[in-house]
Structure 1
Amino acid sequence: MLNHAIVSVALALATLPFAVQGAQLAARAQDPICEWIERAISSASNVYYPGDALYNKGVAHWATTADQVSKCVVEPGTAADVGMVLRIIGGTRTPFAVKGAGHSPNPKFASTTGVHISMYRFNNVTYDADAQTADIGTGLIWDNVYDALAPHGVNIVGGRVPGVGVAGFTLGGGYSWKTNQFGLTVDTLVAFELVRPDGKVVKVTHESDPQLFMGLKGGFNNFGIVTKFTLKTHPQPEVWGGPIQVAADQIDEVTDATVEWDATATDPKAQVMTTYTYAQGELHMTAFLFYDGPTQPAGMFDRFLAIPNHGSNVNTRPFADLVQSTPTGASYGFRGIFNAFSVLDTTRSLVDVVINETQYWGQQLSAKTGIITTYAVEPFLRSIYSHNTQQTAFPPTRSIPFLPFNIYYAWLNSTYDEEFYNAARVSTKVIVDAAVAEGQRGAADAPLYPNNAIFDTPINKVYGANIPTMRAVKRRVDPANVMGLAGGWKV
C-alpha cells in the first residue's frame, strides 16, 4: 500500500521530538510530584523519566498527533498503586493522562504535559469456564486477548483491526465483527474493577451500582480508572473471511454490492465493511467479508467474490488470524485523525457522496503531506441495539437504528494539522447533509461513536439525553473533579 520510504520518513519524524526533547528534559531535575509518586507506590510499579526507553514507550501513541512530552510515565502494576497515584494527583491538582494502548489519534485525550499513567502492566486474561466470562486487563490490545482465549475455544466481542486497545475501545462502546450477533462490547460487560478518584478500588456491577455501571459503559474515564473488565464469552469456531482489494475501475461493482448487502442481509453471523481509500494518487476499495463459521452459506457473498480484484485474502482461519489479515492503511507513527458520522441507510446516492469526498479530499490534502484518506462504510444489521435492555452511556438511544461511519486521514507534517482536522469536520457535514437531503432526517440527530469522533465534537452529540444522569453520577463519585484533570470526553 505505502512504500517503505514514506514509512521510514514518517517514523523518523515521529520519534524525533521525543529523542530531542527527552534529552533536554533528562538534564533537568526530576519533577517533585513524580518523585512523590515514586516513593509512595509499591515495588510492583515504576516511574520513568525523559531519556529512558520505557518512558518513550509509555508516552508513544499509534498516531503522533496524540503525543505530548510528560513530566514522567507512571507504570502501575496494581490497582492499589493506581489509587495511590490518583490520591497524589488529586491532592496536588496535577494534570495527568491515562493510556491503555494509545490508539486514539485525538490530541490530549490520552497524553499530557503532567503525569502520564500507562496501564501496560494490567495485561492478564483469565477465563472462567463456569461463569462463561473472561477478566481482561486494560493494558492489553485485542490481539493479545484473542490469542489468550483461543486455546479455550471461546471469544468475546472485541476490536476488528490489529493494534486496537481493550480499554478505550470498550469504554467507548465497541463495534465488532460479532456485533450483529451480540451487540456492542458494552452490551457484554458483566463487571468493572474501578479505581475511584478517591483511590478506593471497587467492583462495579449492575447490581452493586446501576447508575455508575451505566456510566462506565461508554463513558470513558469520567468516573475513575478501570483496571479490569469482566466480559461475557461465547464459543468461537474457525471463521471465514478476509479482505478483497479492488481497483478504481470496479468501483460501481463494489458499491452496488455493498448497498445491496445493506438492504438484504439478515444473517447475524455475517458482516461486510467496505472502505474507500485515496493513496498515492489513486482510489482503492477494500471489501472486508466476515462469517462466524468455517464456511459461508452458499451464495451469501457471491456478488463480492465475483468482482475482479488485485488482492484477496479470504479463507477459513482462526479469528485472531482474520483480525491480523485486516490492512489498517497507514502504519504506526503517522499523524492522524478520525471523525465519525451516523446515517440510517446505506443508499447508492449517499455512498456516491462518500466516494466523491474520498477523492476530493485525497487530492486536496496530498499536497500537504497527506498520504491517505479513508472512508469506511459499515452496514450493520439494524437489530444491533436490541441486544441489551440495560441503559448504557453509549449509545444513548437504542430506538434509532443508526449506522456508524468513519473517516480516517493520515499525514506527515504537523504544520498542516489544523487543515486536516478542518477537512474531516467539513467532509462529515457534507455527507450528513446529503443523508438528510435524501430523506434520512434522523441522521442529523443520530449519536456519534465516541471512539471515532473528532476531539471537539459537542458532548451532547455523543451522550444525548444521558448527560444529566452521567453528571449526577460524576458528582457523586468524583466531587473534586479529579478525572477532569485528564483528557477525553468529559461530561
Structure 2
Amino acid sequence: MALSKVSLALILSLFSASSLQAPTQSTVNACDALTQAIPGKLFNPRSSGYKEENDDYWNVGLSDLKPACILKPTTSQEVGKAFQVLGEYTDVNFSVKSGGHDPNPGHASSQGGILIALSKIKGTTYDKDTNLAQVKPGGQWKDVIGPLEQYGVTVGGGRLDTVGIGGYLAGGGLSFLSAQYGMAADSIVGWELVTANGSVINVNAKTHPDLAVALRGGGNQYGVTTKFSIEAHPIGKVWGGIRVYAGWAEQEVFAALHDFIANNHKDPKAAVILTSTKLVSDVETYIIFFFYDAPEAPKGAFGKFEDISSFLDLTQSDTYSELLAKNSVGADLLPTRASFRSITLPRIPSRPQFYQEIEAQWETLFKDYAESHPGSAVDIIFQPFPAVIAKNSASRGGNAMGLTENDKDRFILTITGQWTPADDDNTIWDLSKQLTDWIEQQIPHVTTPESEQYLPLFMNHAAFSQDVFGSYKDVEKFKVLQKEMDPTGFFAKRAGGFNI
C-alpha cells in the first residue's frame, strides 16, 4: 500500500518534540518512493536499522542529526535506483555515508534529508594475476587490510583500522605507505561509479584520465563509487607503534620533524605522525606514531628522532593489521563529539622554529578552554608531506590536489577536537578557525623562495567551512568536468560533502 500519509504522520511525530528541522512533505514522499522502488532497504526513525546506522559515527554529535529515512542499498544498481528516484524530487537533499568517520555535520549525515548508507556494500577481494584489490566502500579499513594480508599484499589505507573506506579514498587518503606509493587514491586504477542519472559506469584510469584524476581527491562531486580497483603493494611484517616524549623535549622533537621531512625521500619506508597533547592533561607530552615497512627499522631511518629519549616506548614488530589495530586503541575508547580542521604548509628550510610558533599560538588560543574543560581534548597533529609523495602521485597519473614531481616539501597541520557538551561545538570550530586564520596571515611573512608556494588543502582532514576545491589549482577544469557529469547539480547542489 502507499505509505506517504502513514510515513508523514510517523516521521513528523518523531521530530515534533525536538528543535530539529522536520522533514518536508517532499522528503517524506521521496522516502515513500524509495520504499516502493527498493523494498526492504529503507528504515524509518522508529526502526532498529535506523538507530543502528544513525548511531554509528566517530563524531557522536552527528547522531543528533535525524534524517527522514535511511536507505541501505546492497548493490550499485540499488544506489542507481535511489538516485533516479531522488532525481524526481529536486528539492530533497541527501547524504551518502561509507564508514562514518568524517566528523563534519551534513557530509555523511543528514538533518531532515535522506541518508544513503553504504554499510551493506562491503567486501574485499584480490586477484594475484592482475595484482588488483577490489574494494567496496562500506565498512572500515580493518575490513580491507585483514583479507589482503593472507596474500602478502596491502593497499594504501587508514593509519587507524577504524577509519572508513569510501570517504577516505574519495578524499585522497594519506597512509603509512605514501612516501613509497603516493596518496592512497593514487593507486586506484578503476572505479565502479554511480552517476547522477543513476547509471552505473566503469571508469578506467587509462580510458578516462581526466575523470580518474578528478576522482582522486574529488570527493563525491562526480558520482558515488561502489567499488574501487586498487593496485596492491607487497607487505609483510612491519615495525611501528607509539613513543611518548616529555614536553621539555619540544625543541628536539620539532628539530627532528624538520629534519625528517627533508630526508624522508632517502628512506621512504619510514613514516611518522607527531601529535602535541600539551593542553590535554597536566603532563605535557608529544605522542609520535612510528612506522617502518619491514620487521625492523634500520639505524638512521628516523634521523634525529632516534637521539631523543622517550618515557614510553610501545614500538615493536607486528603484522600490518596488528599495528593498525593497536594504533586505533584509545581513538574510540570514549564516545565524544569530534572535529577536524587542517591547513597545508610549506617546510621552510631556514625556519625550523615554525612548528613551535604554531604550537605557541595554539596554546594561546586554546589554553582557557582547555583549563575550563578538563574532559575535552584539542590536539594539533603534524603530518609530514614530503616532496617524494607528490613525485609518486605524479608518476601514477596525478590527483585532484595537483601534485607534481617538482613540488617541494610540505607538512599538513590537523587540529582535532574531542569534547562532550553540544554547546561547545561552535567554540571548538571557531577556535580552530582562528588558528588556521592566524597561520595564513603568517605565511607571506615567513615563506622563502626555496619553500613550496602551492598549498592545497587535504580534503580528508578539512572542516566543513573550508573551501577545499577553491584551494586546488585546477578547480576551473574540475568545474567543467563536474558539470558534464552532473548537469542538473544533483551532487553539487543537493549532496552532503565538499561542493565544487
Aligned to 1:447: 456
Give secondary structure in 1 for the equivalent of 2:256.
helix
Q: Where does 1:91-170 land on structure 2 (aligned, <5 Å)?
A: 91-93=88-90, 94-112=92-110, 113-170=112-169
- Following superposition, the deviation at residue 377 of structure 1 comes to 1.3
Aligned to 1:333: 335
| CA distance in 2: counterparts of 1:271 and 1:451, whole angstroms | 18
| CA distance in 1: counterparts of 2:212 and 2:308, whole angstroms | 46
| CA distance in 2: counterparts of 1:52 and 1:320, whole angstroms | 34
Residues 1:411 and 2:419 aligned together: yes
TM-score (structure 1 length as normaliser): 0.88
Give secondary structure in 1 for the equivalent of 2:273.
strand
Q: Which moved more, 1:243-252 or 1:102-111?
A: 243-252
Aligned to 1:10: none
Aligned to 1:49: 44
- Following superposition, the deviation at residue 430 of structure 1 comes to 2.4
Alpha-carbon spacing, 1:48–1:440, altered in 2? closer, same or farther (3 Å): farther
Q: Which moved more, 1:210-219 or 1:447-456?
A: 210-219
Residues 1:355 and 2:355 aligned together: no
Alpha-carbon spacing, 1:262–1:443, altered in 2? closer, same or farther (3 Å): closer
Cα pair 1:342 1:443 within 8 Å, conserved: no
- Following superposition, the deviation at residue 314 of structure 1 comes to 0.4
- Following superposition, the deviation at residue 24 of structure 1 comes to 6.2
Aligned to 1:490: 499
Alpha-carbon spacing, 1:221–1:230, altered in 2? closer, same or farther (3 Å): same
- Following superposition, the deviation at residue 303 of structure 1 comes to 4.5
Partner amino acid, structure 1, of 2:292: Y
Alpha-carbon spacing, 1:65–1:390, altered in 2? closer, same or farther (3 Å): same
- Following superposition, the deviation at residue 408 of structure 1 comes to 0.7
- Report % sequence identity: 25
- Following superposition, the deviation at residue 92 of structure 1 comes to 0.9
**Which of the numbers 42, 67, 70 marks the counterpart of 1:70?**
67
Q: Where does 1:313-324 land on structure 2 (aligned, <5 Å)?
A: 313-324=314-325
- Following superposition, the deviation at residue 459 of structure 1 comes to 4.0
Cα pair 2:186 2:397 within 8 Å, conserved: no
TM-score (structure 2 length as normaliser): 0.87
Partner amino acid, structure 2, of 1:395: M
| CA distance in 2: counterparts of 1:66 and 1:463, whole angstroms | 28
**Which of the numbers 432, 435, 444 marks the counterpart of 1:424?**
432
Number of residues paired by the alignment?
Answer: 468
- Following superposition, the deviation at residue 259 of structure 1 comes to 2.4
Partner amino acid, structure 1, of 2:185: V
| CA distance in 2: counterparts of 1:443 and 1:340, whole angstroms | 17
Q: Where does 1:220-299 land on structure 2 (aligned, <5 Å)?
A: 220-265=219-264, 266-277=266-277, 278-299=279-300
Q: Which moved more, 1:432-441 or 1:94-103?
A: 432-441
Partner amino acid, structure 2, of 1:317: D
- Following superposition, the deviation at residue 381 of structure 1 comes to 3.0
Give secondary structure in 1 for the equivalent of 2:461.
coil
| CA distance in 2: counterparts of 1:222 and 1:89, whole angstroms | 16
Q: Where does 1:299-310 land on structure 2 (aligned, <5 Å)?
A: 299-301=300-302, 303-310=304-311
Alpha-carbon spacing, 1:257–1:225, altered in 2? closer, same or farther (3 Å): same
- Following superposition, the deviation at residue 323 of structure 1 comes to 1.3
| CA distance in 1: counterparts of 2:51 and 2:300, whole angstroms | 50
Q: Which moved more, 1:77-86 or 1:351-360?
A: 351-360
Alpha-carbon spacing, 1:321–1:21, altered in 2? closer, same or farther (3 Å): farther
**Which of the numbers 362, 365, 386 marks the counterpart of 2:369?**
365
Partner amino acid, structure 2, of 1:289: F
Alpha-carbon spacing, 1:316–1:130, altered in 2? closer, same or farther (3 Å): same
Cα pair 1:329 1:372 within 8 Å, conserved: no
Aligned to 2:465: 456
Alpha-carbon spacing, 1:284–1:435, altered in 2? closer, same or farther (3 Å): farther
Q: Structure 1 regions of 5+ residues with no counterpart? A: 1-19
| CA distance in 1: counterparts of 2:364 and 2:295, whole angstroms | 40
| CA distance in 2: counterparts of 1:253 and 1:300, whole angstroms | 17
| CA distance in 2: counterparts of 1:463 and 1:65, whole angstroms | 30
- Following superposition, the deviation at residue 331 of structure 1 comes to 4.4
| CA distance in 2: counterparts of 1:355 and 1:459, whole angstroms | 24
- Following superposition, the deviation at residue 65 of structure 1 comes to 4.0
Partner amino acid, structure 1, of 2:132: T
| CA distance in 1: counterparts of 2:137 and 2:401, whole angstroms | 21
Alpha-carbon spacing, 1:191–1:373, altered in 2? closer, same or farther (3 Å): same
| CA distance in 2: counterparts of 1:114 and 1:440, whole angstroms | 47
Partner amino acid, structure 2, of 1:418: N
Q: Structure 2 regions of 5+ residues with no counterpart? A: 1-12
| CA distance in 2: counterparts of 1:303 and 1:471, whole angstroms | 44
Measured against aligned partners, the alpha-carbon deviations of 1:395-444 in whole angstroms (never above 9, x if no partner) come to: 12424333222111122112122221111111123234444422247667
Partner amino acid, structure 2, of 1:263: A
Measured against aligned partners, the alpha-carbon deviations of 1:183-216 in whole angstroms (never above 9, x if no partner) come to: 0112101100011111111111123333322221
Q: Where does 1:460-475 land on structure 2 (aligned, <5 Å)?
A: 460-464=469-473, 466-475=474-483
Aligned to 1:38: 35
| CA distance in 2: counterparts of 1:393 and 1:463, whole angstroms | 10
Measured against aligned partners, the alpha-carbon deviations of 1:298-317 in whole angstroms (never above 9, x if no partner) come to: 34347435534332210110
Aligned to 2:210: 211
Cα pair 2:123 2:136 within 8 Å, conserved: yes
